[in-house]
Structure 1
Amino acid sequence: MRTAAGRSQRTKTLSTVELTQVTKSYPNGPRALDEVSLTVPRGSFIAVMGPSGSGKSTLMHCASGLDIPTSGRVVLDDTVISELSETRRTELRRKRVGFIFQSYNLLPSLSIADNLTLPLRLANTAPDKDWLRTLIDRVGLADRLAHRPAELSGGQQQRAAIVRALVARPAVVFADEPTGALDLRSARDVLDLLREMVHSLGQTVVMVTHDAAAAAHADLALIMADGRIVDTVHAPTAADLARRVTELETE
């Protein structure tokens, strides 16, 4: 993966996220990120793997604007988010970033239909009904919209979470262990769906996972250790990724 370079905020680029020499430090501890530079191309599916404590989650938090780096530069959808206030970062995330979590994070008191459009309501934006219908049809939830989350299986809830993440047409979706709570079949279905969204709809997805089989669905896997990207694997296989992470854990 090529090193990110500085870009003008006013010029549309071929990348969705760029990190340049990003470091994140916490008091009385080692660097969670150590001068990380990377570029996430538009329309790509990237997995981030590594041993526990390698910096995977911190990378996602800084890249998505949930946190700011101690030093370095983060550009998301041509905006330098590392220089924005918390209020401005929150506004940008609502409009340009989607999130998928292991725990689904659907509101139990709302119907699936209301859960799907919640990000738009928070941003005071009307839904694009045609786009919403396209997403609902893609994930096969048309007959579940009136149900509450507890009435759906785990796989169906995660499909709903995917629609919710995509409903605002975000520049990038960050998925944090999206299959961690699912059985093998549901996990495979969700990963196939994410891959379809990338290849059919041009969505950009960055997925943090400890699961080599999940990461093998991505176009590219980044391997992290000690706050750095130590390996880049194109067209990854589960066996290769599992072996590489095991080597890092035993070094």
Structure 2
Amino acid sequence: MRDAFAFPAAEPSAPVGGPASPAVALVNVSKEYEGGVRALDDVTLTVERGSFLAVMGPSGSGKSTLMHCAAGLDSPTSGRASIAGVDLTRLGEDARTELRRSHVGFVFQAYNLLPSLSVMDNITLPLRLAGARPDHEWLGGLVERVGLADRLTHRPGELSGGQQQRAAIARALAARPEVVFGDEPTGALDLRTGHEVLDLLRDLVDSLGQTVVMVTHDPAAAARADRVVVMADGRVVDSLESPTPARLATTLTALEVR
């Protein structure tokens, strides 16, 4: 399927910051909840445009909180989080919502497709919510790439799990976002289908220049990324370039034993 369709020339939505700005940046970000629970502890992290970053760590390490603060779903207690140079911590809730609709895509373990809508209506829903006009050439290439061109009138209940996740990925890309965040995007899929979804994410980075940040517990999934950051106790404790699944598994085992 990788060679079945060439993406149209990439023309993402207008960058919200300067072109030299990284896709995502966290500077001295901490997040503390009631009761003194410190989920993030002075985290600094940069994700360059067109790169694939995986975030790993034991349960409770802060990896999901990191993603939520980086994506503007939650506000840090201190520090600064930015997307394409725009400081999310300076935006009100309405402005953050607007930025997420136009410049951020999300793919979760649960597909979060509306069962009453067709596949195409699910894919274009974020555009309609943002009041944006669909780019039909872009969407046509997108549904070809994710392998759903013959499923656009189907409802989610008529699709396999892998097809539903592909629809969720297409929805995340419909507005040509600055960055796509994935939270365990293959967690609900069998091994073969999970590999196919990871192939698709990898291809989107390589062929489209899309920026992807993926939280995962799976060393084999994380090894598909360009870089993996490992978290423990709310901090980034390691950063590995193009690691192997075996090396990641060893690293995680050592943290869990500790």
The TM tier, using the shorter chain, reads over 0.9
- Per-residue CA deviation, residues 185-220 of structure 1 (Å, 9 max, x unaligned), is 000000010000001000000000111111011010
Distance 2:207 2:256 in 1: 36
> Residue 200 of structure 1 aligns with which residue?
207
Does the aligned pair in 1 maintain the 2:21–2:84 contact within 8 Å?
no
The counterpart of 1:241, out of the listed 239, 245, 248, is 248
Question: Alignment partner for residue 109 of structure 2, among 102, 106, 111?
Answer: 102
Match of 1:180 in 2: 187
Give the Cα separation in 2 of the matches to 1:108 and 1:141: 16
Rounded Cα–Cα distance in structure 2 between residues aligned with 1:233 and 1:195: 17
Q: Would the aligned equivalents of 2:18 and 2:84 in 1 still touch at CA under 8 Å? A: no
1:59 pairs with 2:97: no
Tell me which amino acid in the other structure corresponds to 1:123: A
Q: Who is 1:6 aligned against? A: none
- Name the stretch that deviates more: 38-47 or 76-85: 76-85
1:145 correspondence with 2:144: no
Query: Which of 212, 222, 226 is the equivalent residue of 1:215?
Result: 222
- Which one of 23, 44, 47 corresponds to residue 30 of structure 2? 23
Q: Please give the residue correspondences for 1:163-178 in structure 2 after superposition, counting only pairs within 5 Å.
A: 163-178=170-185
Distance in 1 (CA, whole Å) between partners of 2:193 and 2:36 is: 38
Percent identity of equivalent pairs: 66
Deviation at 1:10, TM superposition (A): 5.5
Name the structure 2 match of 1:93: 100
Alpha-carbon RMSD: 0.9
Structure 1: give runs of 5+ residues left out of the alignment.
1-8
Q: 1:50 maps to what in 2?
A: 57
Distance in 1 between residues matched to 2:232 and 2:127, nearest whole Å: 37
Q: What amino acid maps onto 1:16 in structure 2? A: A
Q: 1:81–1:109: structure 2 CA closer, same or farther, 3 Å change rule?
A: same
Point out where structure 2 has 5 or more consecutive residues left out of the alignment: 1-15
Residue pair 2:30, 2:41 contacting (<8 A) in 1 also: yes
Matched letter for residue 42 of structure 1: R
Measured against aligned partners, the alpha-carbon deviations of 1:114-147 in whole angstroms (never above 9, x if no partner) come to 0010000000101111110111110110110010
Question: Per-residue deviation at 1:30?
Answer: 2.8
Which of 239, 243, 255 lines up with 1:232 in the alignment? 239
Distance 1:160 1:218 in 2: 21
Counterpart Cα distance in 2 of 1:141 and 1:246: 38
SS at structure 2 position matched to 1:132: helix
Q: Note if contact 2:172-2:180 (Cα within 8 Å) is conserved in structure 1.
A: yes
Distance in 1 between residues matched to 2:100 and 2:21, nearest whole Å? 19
1:24-82 per-residue CA deviation (whole Å, 9 max, x = no partner) reads 00111331000000110000000000000000000000000000100001111121111
Residues paired across the two proteins, number: 243
Post-superposition offset of 1:12: 2.7
Alpha-carbon separation, structure 2, partners of 1:215 and 1:129: 33
Which residue does the alignment assign to 2:85? 78
Q: How far does the alpha carbon of each residue in 1:68-114 deviate from its partner, in whole angstroms, 9 at most, with x for none?
A: 10000111112111111111100100000000010110000000010
SS of the aligned residue for 1:173 comes to strand
Distance change in 2, residues 1:22/1:181 (3 Å): same
Task: Give the counterpart letter for 1:228 in structure 2.
Answer: R
In structure 2, distance between residues paired with 1:95 and 1:11: 16
Q: Is 1:135 matched with 2:142? A: yes
The partner residue of 2:162 within 148, 155, 162 is 155
Aligned counterparts of 2:66 and 2:20: Cα–Cα separation in 1: 21
Partner of 1:13: 20
Shift of 1:250: 0.5
User: 12-21 or 165-174, which moves further after superposition?
Assistant: 12-21
